[in-house]
Amino acid sequence: MARKLSRILLGVNDPPKKSSKQDVPKETPKEVSEEAPKQDSKGKSVPKKPAKKSILDDANAFIMDMEKVMKRPRAVGKDDKLKVGVDLGTSNIVVAVLDENNKPVAGELFSANVVRDGIVVEYLNAVTILRKLKGKLEGTLNRELLYAATAIPSGISTGNTKVIQNVVEAAEFQVSNVVDEPTAASEVLKIKNGAVVDVGGGTTGISILQDGEVVYSADEPTGGHHLSLVVAGALQMDYEAAEKYKVDIKNYNRVFTLVRPVVEKMADIVVQHIKGFNVNEIYLVGGTCCLKDIEKIFEKYTGIKTIKPHDPLLVTPMGIAMNDTKFS
Ligand SMILES: Nc1ncnc2c1ncn2[C@@H]1O[C@H](COP(=O)(O)OP(=O)(O)OP(=O)(O)O)[C@@H](O)[C@H]1O
Ligand SMILES: [Mg+2]
């Protein structure tokens, strides 16, 4: 690997070759490099179709960039403006940092069960973890992070929204904005229509978008936690072991067969919610949608085209950060 790399670098630094007569081929054979153009039945040449672009190409590149900076944060200058998003979930607390142009800078994820069904059940623990994540990011970036946007899952009461905000403030962020999760997710995916289904750890949020507006939102108490319970029951494991087993791609075949009925139930819940709306696409986000082929189960069950971005777990936290209206 190292040798290969040094060879490439040597190649890059080689002085450009002087062109000499011998270097220039006397005649360029036309047909050698170019593929013969396709012809229709009348012999007319048919223009080449441009490479098919998926509607999530840009979103996927954005998410992959986020993945990279979570492993290796990007260096930022003292005057660079930063945006922060805090996602307090049932399974994970995620903090995403972007620059003012929404380019990923850094991120942290901590698995913790401080929230249940959208309600903060372990307030002090949540604050302690978030403070640590903030401190870690500030240390790496050598910058203070003053503000953060946070989010509320769909269907949460105002009282609980306040608690989520309080956690973020107790961790010494000033809350610049509180957004709703599906809107945050749709901004990352750059979509204006369809249903965004966020299958997290303990909840599944269903939101319908029409022309960029959320016209319907609901939250159901089902998520990855239930898949792990099924795996634990079937394989006689404790919950923690089942959770690890479930996310290990090596166990895909077994896990897929076990959880399929639960995922079908989730798809059925989605069908019930979107009845009466004109939904042509379902977009899957949330950590549970990292499960390989989950989109196939949804598509087959609902009969609606189902699209899943790269690393769906990061979508909502990134969208929250995009909505930080005050820069740190
Ligand atoms: N590769 C994977 N395969 C299956 N499930 C996965 C995978 N990776 C993560 N998960 C599941 O994703 C869930 C966590 O997702 P996420 O971080 O979106 O939840 P959350 O935001 O904390 O929860 P909620 O939105 O319900 O409050 C967990 O149940 C976890 O087991
Ligand atoms: Mg979530």
Compute CA 55 distance to the chain's CA centroid, rounded to the nearest angstrom.
15
User: Is there an atom of ligand 1 within 6 Å of 115 CB?
Assistant: yes
User: Is there an atom of ligand 1 within 6 Å of 104 CB?
Assistant: no
Mean pLDDT, the chain, whole residue set: 86
Quote the CA–CA distance of 301 and 173 in Å, as a whole number.
Answer: 43
303/115: higher pLDDT: 303
Q: Which amino acid is at 14?
A: D
Indicate the pLDDT class of residue 69, thresholds 50, 70 and 90.
very high
In the predicted structure, residue 305 carries a pLDDT above the cut 70? yes
Predicted local confidence at residue 82, as pLDDT:
98
Counting ligand 1 atoms within 8 A of each CB, the residue from 70, 91, 152, 294 with the most, and so the one to mutate, is 91
Q: Whose CA is nearest to atom 25 of ligand 1?
A: 200
Tens digits of residue pLDDT in 145-184: 999 999 987 666 677 778 889 999 999 999 999 998 888 9
In the predicted structure, residue 18 carries a pLDDT above the cut 50? no
User: Is there an atom of ligand 1 within 6 Å of 312 CB?
Assistant: no
DSSP, collapsed to helix, strand or coil, labels residue 149 as strand
In terms of Cα–Cα distance, which of 174, 175, 191 is closest to 183?
191
Counting ligand 1 atoms within 8 A of each CB, the residue from 94, 230, 240, 313 with the most, and so the one to mutate, is 313
Quick one: average pLDDT of 295-311? 97
In the predicted structure, residue 37 carries a pLDDT above the cut 70? no
Tens digits of residue pLDDT in 243-288: 999 999 999 999 999 999 999 999 999 999 999 999 999 999 999 9
Tens digits of residue pLDDT in 175-229: 999 998 888 999 999 999 999 999 999 889 999 999 989 999 988 999 999 999 9
Q: Which amino acid is at 56?
A: L
Q: How far is the CA of 117 from the centre of ligand 1 (A)?
A: 13
Q: Whose CA is nearest to atom 5 of ligand 1?
A: 288
Predicted local confidence at residue 115, as pLDDT:
76
| Residue whose pair of structure tokens reads 């994820």 in the numeric block | 109
Predicted local confidence at residue 114, as pLDDT:
80
Q: How far is the CA of 87 from the centre of ligand 2 (A)?
A: 7
Of all atoms in ligand 1, which is nearest to the CA of residue 92?
22
Of all atoms in ligand 1, which is nearest to the CA of residue 313?
18
119/297: higher pLDDT: 297
> What Cα–Cα distance (Å) separates residue 177 from each residue in 160, 275, 288, 292, 322?
15, 32, 26, 34, 10
Q: What angle do CA 145, 187, 106 make, to 5 degrees?
A: 30
Q: Whose CA is nearest to atom 15 of ligand 1?
A: 287
Of all atoms in ligand 1, which is nearest to the CA of residue 93?
22
Under a CB-based contact definition with an 8 Å cutoff, are residues 241 and 233 in contact? no
> What Cα–Cα distance (Å) separates residue 123 from each residue in 113, 271, 305, 328?
11, 34, 39, 25
Q: How far is the CA of 57 from the centre of ligand 2 (A)?
A: 23
Predicted local confidence at residue 198, as pLDDT:
95
For the chain, give the percent of residues with pLDDT over 70: 84
63-322 domain in CATH 3.30.420.40? yes
Counting ligand 1 atoms within 8 A of each CB, the residue from 152, 198, 203, 247 with the most, and so the one to mutate, is 247
Q: How far is the CA of 52 from the centre of ligand 2 (A)?
A: 31
In the predicted structure, residue 19 carries a pLDDT above the cut 60? no
For the chain, what are the domain ranges?
63-322
Quote the CA–CA distance of 185 and 200 in Å, as a whole number.
Answer: 13
DSSP, collapsed to helix, strand or coil, labels residue 255 as helix
Interstrand relation of 92-99 and 281-285 (parallel, antiparallel or unpaired): unpaired
Quote the CA–CA distance of 200 and 129 in Å, as a whole number.
Answer: 19
